[in-house]
Structure formats: structure tokens, C-alpha cells
Amino acid sequence: MSVSETETPPSLTALTTYLLSNVGKTARTRLAERLAEHGQRLWHMAVLAALADFGPHAQRDLAARLGIDPSDMVKIVDELATAGQVERNRDQTDRRRVSVTLTPAGRSALAALTAEANAVQDAVLAPLTEPERAQLHALLTRVHQGG
């Protein structure tokens, strides 16, 4: 009959909730695909970013900051360590703690991942002009802080 019915129902696109959920999912998925080509996942990038921005963390503090389970953080740091992007050192003042530090390799890995993220961003936000992208970013920042 008709060409092909691929339109999204207006009842859904009328909901900002739906658009956020949907656009966010495609952004997330595409970014994850890019990172996968580097053998990494979203949490790996988040950990590298946290270390770059705030310096060395105890593993527990890293987990708390990023809001994930400490037992999951173990595995992420494991993988980053075997990739040489992060270093584990026993804290000598409290030998239960493990201090996690970014290595130079980790820093340059983060730069590469950030470049990928920007590429995805260009693709996803293609329909928008530069000032519109800035506006979107500003709005999302406020929403993010408030949530």
C-alpha cells in the first residue's frame, strides 16, 4: 500500500520524556560502539575522566563518585590496569585502601575516547546549527544538575 510506515507515533514524540529517552539511547549506543572499537566501555571512560579531573582516588571513592557498586568497580579497574591506563598502589597510611592513578597511557587513551565522543556528537547533532548545539548543551547541563 503506502511506501513504508516508519513514522514514530506523534503521541510519543509529543513527550519530551520520550525524546530524551530515545535520543539519549541512540547517543549512548553509538558512543558505546565507538568505545568498543578501543576495547573499552562507557564506565572505563568515566573512570579515566574522573581520575583526570580529580586526581588519584581510592577505589571505593571512585565507585561512590560514579554511583556504581564497588564490586563492579573492581572489574573495571582490573581491565584498565591490565591495559596499562591506570596504576594500582596500596595506600601506605591505610593499607586496606588501593589508590588508583592515571598513567600517561591512560591520559592519551582518554583523549582518544573523547575524540570519539565528539565524533558521535557531530553525527547525532547534525540537524542543529552551532548556536543551537550550545543551547541544547546549556539546557541539558541544567537538567543534569537538577536531576
Partner DNA sequence: CAAATTAGTAGGTGAAGACCCATCATTGGC
Partner DNA sequence: GCCAATGATGGGTCTTCACCTACTAATTTG
The least distance separating DNA from the CB of residue 114, rounded to whole angstroms, comes to 18
Does residue 49 contact residue 110 with C-beta atoms inside 8 Å? yes
83 binds, among a copy of itself, DNA, none (CB under 5 to 8 A by kind): none
β-pair type (86-90, 57-58): unpaired
Nearest to 138 by CA among 19, 21, 23, 146: 146
131 binds a copy of itself (CB under 8 A): no
Does residue number 46 form part of the binding site for a copy of itself (CB under 8 A)?
A: yes
Q: Nearer to DNA by C-beta: 36 or 111?
A: 36
Residue 131 binding partner per list a copy of itself, DNA, none, with a CB distance cut-off of 5 to 8 Å that depends on partner kind: none
Between 53 and 94, CB nearer to DNA: 94
Cell numbers that stand for 8 in this block: 514514530
Nearer residue to a copy of itself within complex by CB, 81 or 114: 114
DSSP assignment of 7-70, as one string? Answer: PPPHHHHT-HHHHHHHHHHHHHHHHHHHHHHTT--HHHHHHHHHHHHH--EEHHHHHHHHT--H
Contacting residue, 77, 102, 109, 110, with a copy of itself by CB under 8 A:
110
Q: Is 67 exposed, middle or buried (0-12, 13-18, 19+ CB in 10 A)?
A: exposed
- Cβ proximity to DNA: between 60 and 137 the closer is 60
Closest distance to DNA from the beta carbon of 68 (Å) = 6
**Binding residues for a copy of itself, per CB under 8 A?**
4-13, 15-28, 31, 42, 45-46, 49-50, 52-54, 57, 61, 64-65, 67, 110, 114, 117-118, 120-121, 124-128, 132-133, 135-137, 139-147
